[in-house]
Structure 1
Protein backbone atom coordinates (compact mmCIF):
# COMPACT_ATOMS: atom_id res chain seq x y z
CA UNK A 1 0.00 0.00 0.00
CA UNK A 2 2.79 2.46 0.87
CA UNK A 3 6.02 2.81 -1.04
CA UNK A 4 9.35 3.75 0.54
CA UNK A 5 8.92 7.48 -0.17
CA UNK A 6 5.50 7.63 1.49
CA UNK A 7 6.83 5.66 4.47
CA UNK A 8 9.73 8.10 4.82
CA UNK A 9 7.35 11.06 4.74
CA UNK A 10 5.03 9.48 7.32
CA UNK A 11 7.92 8.47 9.56
CA UNK A 12 9.20 12.04 9.73
CA UNK A 13 5.76 13.65 9.80
CA UNK A 14 4.41 11.57 12.68
CA UNK A 15 7.50 12.23 14.77
CA UNK A 16 7.13 16.00 14.20
CA UNK A 17 3.87 17.16 12.58
CA UNK A 18 4.94 20.78 12.98
CA UNK A 19 7.51 20.37 10.18
CA UNK A 20 7.00 22.66 7.22
CA UNK A 21 6.87 21.12 3.77
CA UNK A 22 10.38 22.42 2.90
CA UNK A 23 11.77 20.97 6.17
CA UNK A 24 10.04 17.65 5.53
CA UNK A 25 11.27 17.62 1.92
CA UNK A 26 14.84 18.19 3.09
CA UNK A 27 14.62 15.32 5.60
CA UNK A 28 13.25 12.84 3.07
CA UNK A 29 15.44 14.11 0.21
CA UNK A 30 12.56 15.07 -2.07
CA UNK A 31 11.38 18.33 -3.60
CA UNK A 32 8.76 20.33 -1.70
CA UNK A 33 6.37 19.98 -4.65
CA UNK A 34 6.70 16.18 -4.60
CA UNK A 35 6.21 16.07 -0.81
CA UNK A 36 3.11 18.28 -1.15
CA UNK A 37 1.64 15.94 -3.77
CA UNK A 38 2.40 12.92 -1.56
CA UNK A 39 0.85 14.57 1.50
CA UNK A 40 -2.24 15.54 -0.49
CA UNK A 41 -2.59 11.95 -1.69
CA UNK A 42 -2.10 10.53 1.83
CA UNK A 43 -4.81 12.88 3.10
CA UNK A 44 -7.12 12.06 0.19
CA UNK A 45 -6.64 8.32 0.78
CA UNK A 46 -7.46 8.76 4.48
CA UNK A 47 -4.00 7.69 5.68
CA UNK A 48 -3.43 11.10 7.29
CA UNK A 49 -6.59 12.14 9.07
CA UNK A 50 -5.44 15.39 10.65
CA UNK A 51 -3.14 16.81 13.26
CA UNK A 52 -3.74 16.87 16.98
CA UNK A 53 -2.23 18.54 19.99
CA UNK A 54 -1.31 16.29 22.89
CA UNK A 55 -1.90 18.01 26.22
CA UNK A 56 -0.19 16.75 29.36
CA UNK A 57 -3.21 16.55 31.63
CA UNK A 58 -0.98 16.05 34.70
CA UNK A 59 0.44 19.54 34.07
CA UNK A 60 -3.12 20.82 34.42
CA UNK A 61 -3.60 19.19 37.81
CA UNK A 62 -5.15 15.84 36.87
CA UNK A 63 -3.11 13.39 38.94
CA UNK A 64 -5.35 10.31 38.81
CA UNK A 65 -5.99 8.06 35.81
CA UNK A 66 -8.33 5.10 36.07
CA UNK A 67 -9.38 2.45 33.57
CA UNK A 68 -12.88 1.17 34.26
CA UNK A 69 -13.92 -2.15 32.75
CA UNK A 70 -17.64 -2.77 32.39
CA UNK A 71 -19.77 -5.80 31.73
CA UNK A 72 -23.18 -4.67 30.54
CA UNK A 73 -26.61 -6.20 31.00
CA UNK A 74 -26.96 -7.96 27.66
CA UNK A 75 -30.65 -8.72 28.23
CA UNK A 76 -31.39 -5.10 27.29
CA UNK A 77 -31.46 -4.74 23.47
CA UNK A 78 -29.87 -1.26 23.28
CA UNK A 79 -27.60 -1.55 26.33
CA UNK A 80 -24.38 -0.84 24.40
CA UNK A 81 -25.75 2.18 22.55
CA UNK A 82 -27.36 3.72 25.62
CA UNK A 83 -24.32 3.10 27.82
CA UNK A 84 -21.90 4.59 25.28
CA UNK A 85 -24.12 7.61 24.64
CA UNK A 86 -24.23 8.33 28.38
CA UNK A 87 -20.49 7.68 28.84
CA UNK A 88 -19.66 10.19 26.08
CA UNK A 89 -21.26 12.91 28.21
CA UNK A 90 -18.89 12.35 31.15
CA UNK A 91 -16.30 15.12 30.75
CA UNK A 92 -13.57 13.23 32.56
CA UNK A 93 -13.74 10.25 30.17
CA UNK A 94 -10.86 10.48 27.69
CA UNK A 95 -11.36 7.21 25.85
CA UNK A 96 -14.08 4.62 25.27
CA UNK A 97 -13.29 1.17 23.88
CA UNK A 98 -15.60 -1.76 23.21
CA UNK A 99 -14.55 -5.42 23.33
CA UNK A 100 -15.66 -8.92 22.54
CA UNK A 101 -15.48 -11.19 25.54
CA UNK A 102 -16.25 -10.94 29.23
CA UNK A 103 -15.50 -7.21 29.38
CA UNK A 104 -17.77 -5.18 27.10
CA UNK A 105 -16.53 -1.62 27.50
CA UNK A 106 -13.45 0.13 28.89
CA UNK A 107 -13.45 3.78 29.89
CA UNK A 108 -10.27 5.71 30.57
CA UNK A 109 -10.90 8.67 32.82
CA UNK A 110 -8.91 11.29 34.67
CA UNK A 111 -9.50 13.14 37.92
CA UNK A 112 -7.69 15.85 39.85
CA UNK A 113 -7.19 13.66 42.92
CA UNK A 114 -8.80 10.73 44.73
CA UNK A 115 -11.60 12.89 46.15
CA UNK A 116 -12.40 14.15 42.65
CA UNK A 117 -12.31 10.56 41.32
CA UNK A 118 -14.70 9.48 44.06
CA UNK A 119 -17.07 12.30 43.06
CA UNK A 120 -16.91 11.35 39.37
CA UNK A 121 -17.35 7.68 40.20
CA UNK A 122 -20.40 8.22 42.42
CA UNK A 123 -22.10 11.03 40.49
CA UNK A 124 -21.27 10.10 36.91
CA UNK A 125 -20.05 6.53 36.49
CA UNK A 126 -22.48 4.70 38.78
CA UNK A 127 -25.40 6.45 37.06
CA UNK A 128 -24.48 5.04 33.64
CA UNK A 129 -27.17 2.67 32.35
CA UNK A 130 -27.13 -1.12 32.10
CA UNK A 131 -24.04 -1.90 34.21
CA UNK A 132 -23.90 -5.54 35.29
CA UNK A 133 -20.33 -5.41 36.65
CA UNK A 134 -17.56 -2.86 36.96
CA UNK A 135 -13.84 -3.12 37.74
CA UNK A 136 -11.54 -0.16 38.37
CA UNK A 137 -7.83 -0.28 37.53
CA UNK A 138 -5.89 2.72 38.79
CA UNK A 139 -2.87 3.63 36.71
CA UNK A 140 0.39 3.80 38.66
CA UNK A 141 2.66 4.63 35.73
CA UNK A 142 2.62 4.79 31.96
CA UNK A 143 5.41 2.55 30.73
CA UNK A 144 4.80 3.00 26.99
CA UNK A 145 2.39 5.27 25.22
CA UNK A 146 3.47 5.49 21.59
CA UNK A 147 0.90 6.52 19.05
CA UNK A 148 3.34 6.45 16.14
CA UNK A 149 3.24 3.53 13.73
CA UNK A 150 6.44 1.52 13.20
CA UNK A 151 6.95 2.53 9.58
Structure 2
Protein backbone atom coordinates (compact mmCIF):
# COMPACT_ATOMS: atom_id res chain seq x y z
CA UNK A 1 0.00 0.00 0.00
CA UNK A 2 1.14 3.53 -0.71
CA UNK A 3 2.31 5.69 2.14
CA UNK A 4 0.95 8.87 0.56
CA UNK A 5 -2.45 10.31 1.32
CA UNK A 6 -4.78 11.74 -1.30
CA UNK A 7 -8.01 13.72 -1.28
CA UNK A 8 -10.11 10.61 -0.56
CA UNK A 9 -8.02 9.79 2.53
CA UNK A 10 -8.29 13.36 3.80
CA UNK A 11 -12.04 13.45 3.12
CA UNK A 12 -12.47 10.23 5.12
CA UNK A 13 -10.47 11.73 7.98
CA UNK A 14 -12.53 14.94 7.93
CA UNK A 15 -15.82 13.05 8.11
CA UNK A 16 -14.67 10.73 10.89
CA UNK A 17 -13.07 13.61 12.84
CA UNK A 18 -16.56 15.10 13.14
CA UNK A 19 -18.03 11.80 14.37
CA UNK A 20 -15.77 8.77 14.76
CA UNK A 21 -18.85 6.54 14.98
CA UNK A 22 -19.99 7.30 11.43
CA UNK A 23 -20.43 3.94 9.66
CA UNK A 24 -18.08 3.34 6.73
CA UNK A 25 -21.13 2.88 4.50
CA UNK A 26 -22.28 6.43 5.32
CA UNK A 27 -18.77 7.79 4.71
CA UNK A 28 -18.72 5.97 1.36
CA UNK A 29 -22.09 7.45 0.34
CA UNK A 30 -20.92 10.98 1.15
CA UNK A 31 -17.76 10.53 -0.90
CA UNK A 32 -19.38 8.48 -3.69
CA UNK A 33 -16.96 5.58 -3.25
CA UNK A 34 -17.48 1.97 -2.21
CA UNK A 35 -17.56 0.97 1.46
CA UNK A 36 -14.64 -1.35 0.66
CA UNK A 37 -12.60 1.66 -0.43
CA UNK A 38 -13.25 3.38 2.89
CA UNK A 39 -12.37 0.19 4.77
CA UNK A 40 -9.10 -0.29 2.84
CA UNK A 41 -8.12 3.37 3.21
CA UNK A 42 -8.77 3.25 6.95
CA UNK A 43 -6.70 0.08 7.27
CA UNK A 44 -3.87 1.75 5.33
CA UNK A 45 -3.94 4.83 7.59
CA UNK A 46 -3.96 2.61 10.72
CA UNK A 47 -0.99 0.62 9.41
CA UNK A 48 0.83 3.91 8.71
CA UNK A 49 0.28 4.85 12.37
CA UNK A 50 -1.72 7.91 11.34
CA UNK A 51 -4.88 6.71 13.08
CA UNK A 52 -4.15 5.59 16.61
CA UNK A 53 -7.69 5.11 17.92
CA UNK A 54 -11.06 6.79 18.29
CA UNK A 55 -12.40 8.65 21.31
CA UNK A 56 -15.64 9.98 22.70
CA UNK A 57 -16.17 13.68 23.32
CA UNK A 58 -17.52 14.02 26.83
CA UNK A 59 -19.19 16.92 28.61
CA UNK A 60 -17.46 16.60 31.97
CA UNK A 61 -19.59 19.30 33.61
CA UNK A 62 -22.78 17.34 32.90
CA UNK A 63 -21.21 14.37 34.66
CA UNK A 64 -20.37 16.41 37.76
CA UNK A 65 -16.76 17.32 36.89
CA UNK A 66 -17.27 21.08 36.86
CA UNK A 67 -13.66 22.31 36.78
CA UNK A 68 -11.07 22.17 34.01
CA UNK A 69 -7.63 23.29 35.11
CA UNK A 70 -4.39 23.81 33.21
CA UNK A 71 -1.11 23.67 35.11
CA UNK A 72 2.21 25.06 33.94
CA UNK A 73 4.89 23.06 35.71
CA UNK A 74 8.53 23.97 36.33
CA UNK A 75 10.92 21.08 36.96
CA UNK A 76 13.77 21.37 39.45
CA UNK A 77 15.99 19.32 37.11
CA UNK A 78 15.29 18.28 33.53
CA UNK A 79 16.86 14.89 34.29
CA UNK A 80 13.77 14.15 36.43
CA UNK A 81 11.44 14.61 33.44
CA UNK A 82 10.57 10.92 32.91
CA UNK A 83 9.99 10.31 36.62
CA UNK A 84 7.69 13.34 36.89
CA UNK A 85 5.80 12.30 33.71
CA UNK A 86 5.15 8.85 35.15
CA UNK A 87 3.85 10.27 38.42
CA UNK A 88 1.58 12.75 36.58
CA UNK A 89 0.37 9.92 34.35
CA UNK A 90 -0.71 8.00 37.47
CA UNK A 91 -3.10 10.80 38.55
CA UNK A 92 -6.52 9.90 37.12
CA UNK A 93 -7.72 13.51 36.94
CA UNK A 94 -4.85 14.45 34.59
CA UNK A 95 -6.07 13.98 31.01
CA UNK A 96 -3.30 15.60 28.93
CA UNK A 97 0.42 16.04 29.48
CA UNK A 98 2.58 18.14 27.16
CA UNK A 99 6.35 18.60 27.23
CA UNK A 100 6.62 22.21 26.10
CA UNK A 101 9.08 24.92 25.20
CA UNK A 102 9.00 28.37 26.73
CA UNK A 103 8.26 29.38 30.28
CA UNK A 104 7.19 25.95 31.55
CA UNK A 105 8.73 22.50 31.23
CA UNK A 106 5.40 20.67 31.30
CA UNK A 107 1.82 21.78 30.69
CA UNK A 108 -1.07 19.58 31.83
CA UNK A 109 -4.84 19.58 31.62
CA UNK A 110 -6.90 18.08 34.40
CA UNK A 111 -10.52 17.87 35.51
CA UNK A 112 -11.98 18.07 39.03
CA UNK A 113 -15.49 17.78 40.43
CA UNK A 114 -15.22 21.05 42.36
CA UNK A 115 -12.68 23.32 44.09
CA UNK A 116 -12.37 20.97 47.06
CA UNK A 117 -11.56 18.05 44.79
CA UNK A 118 -9.05 20.20 42.87
CA UNK A 119 -7.39 21.29 46.13
CA UNK A 120 -7.07 17.65 47.24
CA UNK A 121 -5.50 16.50 43.96
CA UNK A 122 -3.25 19.57 43.75
CA UNK A 123 -1.99 19.46 47.33
CA UNK A 124 -1.93 15.74 48.03
CA UNK A 125 -0.88 14.34 44.66
CA UNK A 126 0.71 16.94 42.37
CA UNK A 127 2.67 18.97 44.93
CA UNK A 128 4.03 15.75 46.44
CA UNK A 129 5.84 14.82 43.21
CA UNK A 130 9.58 15.04 43.67
CA UNK A 131 11.19 17.06 40.90
CA UNK A 132 8.54 19.76 40.58
CA UNK A 133 10.01 23.17 41.43
CA UNK A 134 6.88 25.26 40.91
CA UNK A 135 3.41 25.37 39.37
CA UNK A 136 1.13 28.02 37.89
CA UNK A 137 -2.58 27.16 37.71
CA UNK A 138 -5.14 28.36 35.17
CA UNK A 139 -8.81 27.58 35.73
CA UNK A 140 -10.91 27.42 32.59
CA UNK A 141 -14.17 29.28 32.94
CA UNK A 142 -15.56 28.15 29.59
CA UNK A 143 -14.47 26.08 26.59
CA UNK A 144 -15.62 27.70 23.38
CA UNK A 145 -14.09 25.44 20.75
CA UNK A 146 -12.95 21.85 20.35
CA UNK A 147 -12.26 20.61 16.86
CA UNK A 148 -9.86 18.82 14.56
CA UNK A 149 -7.98 20.43 11.71
CA UNK A 150 -9.74 20.15 8.34
CA UNK A 151 -7.32 18.28 6.09
CA UNK A 152 -6.76 18.86 2.38
CA UNK A 153 -4.50 17.00 0.00
CA UNK A 154 -1.39 18.88 -1.10
CA UNK A 155 1.62 18.07 -3.29
CA UNK A 156 3.59 17.21 -0.11
CA UNK A 157 1.12 14.54 1.06
TM-score normalised by the chain length of structure 1: 0.90
- Alpha carbons 1:66, 1:136 under 8 Å: kept: yes
- Alpha carbons 1:95, 1:107 under 8 Å: kept: yes
- Alpha carbons 1:86, 1:129 under 8 Å: kept: no
Name the structure, 1 or 2, with higher relative contact order (CA <8 Å, separation 6+). 2
Instruction: Report deviation, 1:55.
Output: 2.2
The answer for the alignment partner of 1:149 in structure 2 is 149
Instruction: Report deviation, 1:72.
Output: 0.7
In 2, the alpha carbon distance for the partners of 1:86 and 1:15 equals: 33
The answer for the alignment partner of 2:11 in structure 1 is 8
Q: Answer yes or no: is 1:42 the counterpart of 2:78.
A: no
Q: Please, what is the CA RMSD of the aligned residues?
A: 1.5
The answer for the alignment partner of 2:29 in structure 1 is 26
Secondary structure of the residue aligned to 1:42 is helix
Instruction: Report deviation, 1:127.
Output: 0.3
Gaps of 5+ in 1: none
TM-score normalised by the chain length of structure 2: 0.86
1:73 corresponds, among 72, 76, 84, to: 76
Instruction: Report deviation, 1:33.
Output: 1.9
In 2, the alpha carbon distance for the partners of 1:86 and 1:33 equals: 44
1:57 corresponds, among 57, 60, 75, to: 60
Equivalences for residues 42-121 of structure 1 within 5 A: 42-74=45-77, 78-121=79-122
4+ long deviations beyond 6 Å: none
Instruction: Report deviation, 1:94.
Output: 1.0
